[in-house]
Chain A
Amino acid sequence: MMAHGPTTAAARPVAQAATREGYGQALAELARTNPRVVVLDADLSKSTQSAVFAKACPDRFFNLGIAEPNMMGVAAGLAASGKIVFASTFAIFATQRTMNQLFQSVCYPRLNVKIGASHAGVTVGEDGASHQAIDDIALMRVLPHMTVVVPADAVEARLFTLKAAEWEGPVYLRFGRAKVPVLFDEGHEVEIGRAQVLREGGDVTLVACGVLVSEALKAADFLAAEGIRAEVINCSTVKPLDGETIARSAARTGAVVTCEEHSIIGGLGGAVAEFLAENHPVRLRRIGVRDLFGQSGKAEELLEEYGLTAPHIVRAAKELLETRR
């Protein structure tokens, strides 16, 4: 079944929005609709957009200062007392600085803590390597009980944040700083754990998440111009992985390219490779940061520098198809 989404370049909307904006919109809605929701931040509420909730609902917002480990512990205690807690900060601090807290206090007791992680990936831009989370999906994916969601645009970011509030247990929500294309209209429907085929094609499968979904769609256009029909799967939930949808496509195409703004180690590419190697081995290439640190630059420059744009996806797809012949 085809989801709402673009199928041609002409249909693609030009509107741009950061996924973190979708997070802020959803928190504003939850402030009105769900009295169980409590939001925390670690001195980055304007950047993460949690300030929107703080303004709407100051009695249920707590700034914990620059103390992320304590923030995750406080989140766990609130969740153990019946709250649905959104703990917000930059992705790099939400994961690396709190790994042991998420393991012990959040995931082990399977508490209702949702991590709203903004500024993920290299599109953080000028702040450089210290602020660019390129391993956060890998870190979160390895935690038992953790669900990992990477929305493709601001619409999905809003919808998945609302879904996370209803989901039982910990959820990692990955958002970006930079404005990226809005791919979906308001009628878009999402479900945690379900990947969506955005474009059908029988020659090669492009499995993408986050900002790379729009690049994968562009790549499919380029490939189509050369007579190669690419199937594009939006894999917004990296864990639990929708292996069924991916395997069904891989069975038809026999060639898979994964696309993510993340290390090629342990993220979407790792998850898909693990699943396919065990269940349906096919030729596979991973588009991602190739075991490197980030650096300063403009978002679009960095996407190009690290090989995360449509032309790189096209090249990987064509290489795969050549080795098949």
Chain B
Amino acid sequence: MQGLVTRRWLVIAVPYAWLLLLFLVPFFIVFKISLSDVATAIPPYTPTFDLSQGFAGIADFLGKLDFENYAFVLDDSLYVNSYWSSLKIAAISTFLTLLVAYPMAYGMARAPKGWQPTLVMLVILPFWTSFLIRVYAWIGILKKEGLLNLLLVNMGLISEPLTILNTTTAVYIGIVYSYLPFMILPLYASLEKINPALIEAAEDLGSPPWRAFWQVTFPLSLPGVLAGCFLVFIPATGEFVIPDLLGGSDTLMIGKTLWSEFFNNRDWPVSSAVAVVLLLVLVIPIVLFQRNQEQQREAAR
């Protein structure tokens, strides 16, 4: 009995230890740096712990920490605009991803049962290639003399090559492409669960297919829609690689701003503050996502 209780605690302790070590500790390091001041040193900030001074050193260290970086970040329009623009781009691309993913997930859920595992595998297949390489591939497709323009010009649809690369449009394309599986899989999971007899019942009671979709299928797939949207929106907000490779100079995203703050300006404290604020911004959708998952579990019971 005693052993059983201990083992049960161990099972719970492992994931918490994991979170503590790999999330909470790094977060506190970042948070601590965000309260520091920039300095030309290694590491490039002050104050640092000086344990040789004993307790006085720690008190001195704590006394030098302040929130001035946060005041700076929230005051400077570059950062505020970056946050705002990131949220906007993430929201629009989440919606676009939903538009693309829904018919695909619906088709998968309606496909013959024997095909479905294969279709799911095809959705996951892109993960077998490095994310970075896949985004690079889009440069080859979208650039002025790229595959897309070549195709459109040869088909006679356009006379001049389109400028897509290095615009926000390219960022949208990149995000929709990269995050599509994260939208399709939860959508498919919720659509696949819907009893086909429900659609038949709706039609039997006088609802044409299109209305039956909006009255029955879509409401029942909402948990999947929400889960998919959060899974795309949350990482897309902090996305760096896609806007960096595909976006232009006018594409303002917080991930890019953070990167240049960190590597170009070598301002670790400010970039840490940017990261902490980004996390706070994302806490709201993350909490909503958790609640959605919770409700799902409740409903399943």
Q: Do A and B bind each other?
A: no
Residues of B within 8 A of A (CB): none
